[in-house]
Amino acid sequence: MASGSIPPIGASPEELLRFDAELIAFDLDDTLAASKAAITPRMAAALRGLLALVPVCVISGGHVTQFQSQLLGNLDASPEQLSRLHLMPTCGTRYLRFAGGAWDEVYAYDLSAEQCERAMTALEEEARALGLWETQTWGDVLDNRGSQITFSALGQQAPLPEKKAWDPTGEKKNALRDAVAARIPDLEVRSGGSTSVDVTLAGVDKAYGMQRLAEHTGIALADMIFVGDRLDPGGNDYPVVGLGVPTVAVDSWEETAGFVEGWVAARSPEESSITIT
């Protein structure tokens, strides 16, 4: 693939290292950082290097406070670098940009109080009916994020090993998603992270957020790259696949760091051969 040419559908990460994308977007949990954890110094350095070359977007199901604790509080970026960073919390239902030393909200598509109540009621009742309302939890199970209601089976602060062990096949989440979707068909219900199910306004998901990003930046979706850990059918990154955005599927933040470091290094004159580590 020639540098800068549009990559073919299903292009490998190695091929995308040679693609001169105009913007690179990322999921947060299990892509830039371990679930609910802060980005590492290695990832922070990789992102700063990337921000020196292209705009970067982070789009995640997490609340804006998670972006602060996991990403911004550990990025150590300059105001100039932050001005090239696009933040889309709660699966793109909110969009923030940095200007004048502060983060400004470009838009927010909040659920109404009545929609929030119906979503929370349906999530709890269906979880109990399916035997998924756990007695041992760490933090809130239901989280009203304004533009998104999130059910976290083990609570918002559950330890990572317990989260990974709770539903390794995704069957529990999918069963709950289907049951809740039947209760509130006017809203969007989808699987989120390893133990979560999210509810937003109908039609508002990561594909919607990426489309709004293209509109606001003027960068075509085909000229972007999206990196995420849930690009499989049913995953909350999967809607992006249908947009024709070149994608990189990862299993961990380490894989993401390797891709970013390789992409940045491939644009250094002294680099002639790049591989992903």
β-pairing, 85-88 vs 56-59, is parallel
Of 175, 201, 227, the position where a domain reaches its end is 201
Quick check: is 4 in a domain?
Answer: no
> Tell me, what's the pLDDT at 274?
41
The residues assigned a catalytic role are 27, 29
- The closest of 56, 75, 79, 77 to 67, measured between CA atoms, is 75
Give 12-44 pLDDT, tens digit per residue: 888 899 899 999 999 999 999 998 899 999 999
9 — pLDDT class (breaks 50, 70, 90): low
- Residues annotated within the binding site for alpha-D-mannose 1-phosphate are 145, 196, 198
Number of domains in the chain: 2
- Residues annotated within the binding site are 27, 29, 145, 196, 198, 229
Quick check: is 102 in a domain?
Answer: yes
**What is the arithmetic mean of pLDDT over 106-133?**
97
Of 201, 226, 248, the position where a domain reaches its end is 201
Residue pair 40/9 in contact (Cβ under 8 Å)? The answer is: no
Q: How far apart (Å, rounded) are the C-alpha atoms in residues 253 and 106?
A: 28
| CATH number of 146's domain | 3.30.1240.20
Q: How far apart (Å, rounded) are the C-alpha atoms in residues 88 and 210?
A: 9
| CATH number of 32's domain | 3.40.50.1000
Shared domain check, 208 and 181: no
- Residues annotated within the binding site for Mg(2+) are 27, 29, 229
Quick check: is 8 in a domain?
Answer: no
Give 178-218 pLDDT, tens digit per residue: 999 999 999 999 888 889 999 999 988 899 999 999 999 99
Range of the domain at 166: 113-201
